[in-house]
Amino acid sequence: MLINVAETVVADALRGMAAAHPQLTVDVENRVVVRRDAPVADKVGLVSGGGSGHEPLHGGFVGPGMLSAACPGEVFTSPVPDQMVRAAAGVDSGQGVLFVVKNYTGDVLNFDMAAELAEDEGVRVAKVVVDDDVAVTDSLFTAGRRGTGATLFVEKIAAAAAEEGAPLDRVAAVARQVNESSRSFGVALSAVTTPAKGSPTFDLPPGELELGIGIHGEPGRERRPMMTSGEIADFVVDAVLEDLRPTRPVLVLVNGMGATPLLELYGFNAEVQRVLSGRGVAVARTLVGNYVTSLDMAGCSVTLCQVDEELLRLWDAPVETAALRWGR
Amino acid sequence: MLINVAETVVADALRGMAAAHPQLTVDVENRVVVRRDAPVADKVGLVSGGGSGHEPLHGGFVGPGMLSAACPGEVFTSPVPDQMVRAAAGVDSGQGVLFVVKNYTGDVLNFDMAAELAEDEGVRVAKVVVDDDVAVTDSLFTAGRRGTGATLFVEKIAAAAAEEGAPLDRVAAVARQVNESSRSFGVALSAVTTPAKGSPTFDLPPGELELGIGIHGEPGRERRPMMTSGEIADFVVDAVLEDLRPTRPVLVLVNGMGATPLLELYGFNAEVQRVLSGRGVAVARTLVGNYVTSLDMAGCSVTLCQVDEELLRLWDAPVETAALRWGR
């Protein structure tokens, strides 16, 4: 591992992030990443966060057109309410703040507590819980479905609504609509090694894969001998479609878990598009890359989000963050 | 590996790239990636290419403000002259084309042959050979120094000059200036596995690292027991500075080899900045991420490019590609 010691991994990364991105204000001590121009007058703020180890999620999504602030926890560990309250207070313009929370028990509890504390300080808070992973119901750290790739869609699209001046209840409604319109399924081709443990957190022998893996290495649906990229695409896309049953065009996220080369992710995307086309699903936009990762895990996930014209317009709106960036 | 069969890895990736990036014209059969609006009237074209397995280099750098076209070869294998001639003819507006070539024997020979063939077809061609890697002189596939991370700086900055209407000789001069102003050094924390071989191409035991690794796993300077991120930054930055001896501010590329988590790359960047600051080197801009990779290799490299005001202005100019994107 390219680290000093496990204890300083998150603080070291925040210092390095601050040096690379002068458009962010990085509070290393209190572990809050904020867009430099926050609070933006008359705009609803968006705050997210979660365990570290999923980069660029969430710090890489802070900036105009996406998150106002992010709160990184220790690796695979929820941030604490103090971080979230500080972030909310720092980005609130008086229009209130939306918390975007991935559905893990610790995150949900801590964001709930933070919402109460922030409200006590006079910040209006709404919350959306992202739970898009169809692989399993209930998991190691989750009651209900896990929150994974759809977080990117929720953060981007709801923030675009906020950027246009939508009020808090409307921004929250858009976020919930995006979550309800999204489903994901992930696959591991290797285990993940955390800095604290220093060795793989679960056992996945070479030549096998885990279908339905979580982004912390939580068990999935089943383990099988290695499959081809095409066979994996058939399995994964069908698992998502069976649950989502889209009637409109979809946004496609072909996401790498961290250690899978971009060359392979693009090849996998060709197979994902083949399956979608074969099932009669129209593709509106496609994003391929490492966005919601699990440290050094090899593997991939697919997230589909079905969109109407309004959600697609918000998706296409300009965004200017470290990891996601486009203009129109 | 997330593939179908080794034989189709590059073609599969190109099909997936085409589906994800409608702003590119991807000729899968002939293996040429071209920006859709090429040729751009009165603009010098920039064509690069090389073996696949280093993504997003080069296809991810095609678009306004950077490459006009890229020619991907088989994994770790030079593209053939036919690809380069086709690319040159497709992007030439009459103002000529610059070939950006990484210094590997096969690439240099093939781009030389392509330059002759293109000239026969009436396309004026200039060439810059990138040779920034200070780790070793002469290597497995190279006479002289290897071309690695500086390729990104050369392609971005020379293309910005072309975008402003500079003639071919000026664009080539800028490219050469950037190459001469840049030095790199890489480190492997694990070996690389190619699809064709299916197992690591060299032996690097856990708990050891290779200082001075090439982007195809070519041997470096020495092998050592694992070092901390800070110790690696000391060694790598000093190796670069000893050769570059910068007198002006530098652009910093902290590059991941593929499988090293972004969390660790940011932490490593903090150490790189510490060393530069300690050596009195001013940093103008910093880029952190996986840009010039070696499939699933874990590790990193540092490239420094010293810049005057003109090169910095060209670096900051807008760019709109799959992997590098900003406006001003």
The pLDDT mean for chain B works out to 97
Residue ranges per structural domain of chain B: 6-179, 182-315
> What is the reported pLDDT for A229?
98
> What is the reported pLDDT for A224?
97
> What is the reported pLDDT for B140?
87
CATH number of this structure's domain B6-179: 3.40.50.10440
Contact between B55 and A266 using a beta-carbon 8 Å cutoff: yes
Distance from CA of A14 to the nearest CA of B (A): 7
Q: Does pLDDT of A177 surpass 90?
A: yes
> What is the reported pLDDT for A195?
96
The pLDDT mean for chain A works out to 97
> What is the reported pLDDT for A242?
98
Each residue of A184-194: pLDDT tens digit? 999 999 999 99
> What is the reported pLDDT for A6?
97
Work out the pLDDT band at A16, boundaries 50, 70, 90: very high
> What is the reported pLDDT for A255?
98
Q: Tell whether A293 lies on the interface with B, counting CB pairs under 8 A.
A: yes
Q: DSSP of B97-119, one letter per residue?
A: EEEEEES-HHHHHHHHHHHHHHH
Give the residue carrying structure tokens 């001013």: B282
Distance from CA of A166 to the nearest CA of B (A): 26
Fold of B182-315: Hypothetical Protein Tm841; Chain: A;domain 3 (3.30.1180)
For A18, the closest chain B residue by CA position comes to B270
Report whether B259 contacts B182 (CB < 8 A).
Answer: no
Contact between A53 and B16 using a beta-carbon 8 Å cutoff: no
Supply the pTM of this predicted model. Answer: 0.98
As a whole-number percent, the residues of chain A with pLDDT over 70 amount to 100
Work out the pLDDT band at B312, boundaries 50, 70, 90: very high
Distance from CA of B192 to the nearest CA of A (A): 11
How much is the average pLDDT of A123-145? Answer: 95
Locate all alpha helices (DSSP H) within B130-285, ordered by sequence: 150-163, 168-180, 229-244, 262-278
Contact between B268 and A2 using a beta-carbon 8 Å cutoff: yes
How much is the average pLDDT of B8-30? Answer: 98
Q: Does pLDDT of B328 surpass 70?
A: no
Work out the pLDDT band at A298, boundaries 50, 70, 90: very high
Q: Quote the tokens at residue A48.
A: 């997210």
Each residue of A74-128: pLDDT tens digit? 999 999 999 999 999 999 999 999 999 999 999 999 999 999 999 999 999 999 9
Of A15, A53, A263, the CB nearest to B270: A15
- Listed by number, the residues of chain A in 91-110 with a beta carbon closer than 8 Å to a beta carbon of chain B are none
> What is the reported pLDDT for A140?
87
Q: Tell whether A196 lies on the interface with B, counting CB pairs under 8 A.
A: no
Report whether A4 contacts B229 (CB < 8 A).
Answer: yes
Q: Tell whether A254 lies on the interface with B, counting CB pairs under 8 A.
A: yes
Each residue of B246-273: pLDDT tens digit? 999 999 999 999 999 999 999 999 999 9
Q: How many CB pairs under 8 A join A and B?
A: 184
Work out the pLDDT band at B139, boundaries 50, 70, 90: confident
Chain B residues in contact with A75 (beta carbon < 8 A): 263
Q: Where in chain B does DSSP place strands (E)?
A: 24-27, 32-35, 45-52, 69-75, 97-102, 125-130, 182-188, 208-211, 222-225, 250-256, 283-289, 299-306, 319-320, 325-326
| Mutation target among A74, A235, A266 for the B interface, most CBs of B within 10 A | A266
How much is the average pLDDT of A6-27? Answer: 98
Angle formed by the axes of helices B168-180 and B150-163, to 10°? 150
CA angle B109, B256, B229 (to 5 degrees): 130
> What is the reported pLDDT for A125?
98
As a whole-number percent, the residues of chain B with pLDDT over 90 amount to 97
Work out the pLDDT band at A328, boundaries 50, 70, 90: low
Q: Tell whether A201 lies on the interface with B, counting CB pairs under 8 A.
A: no
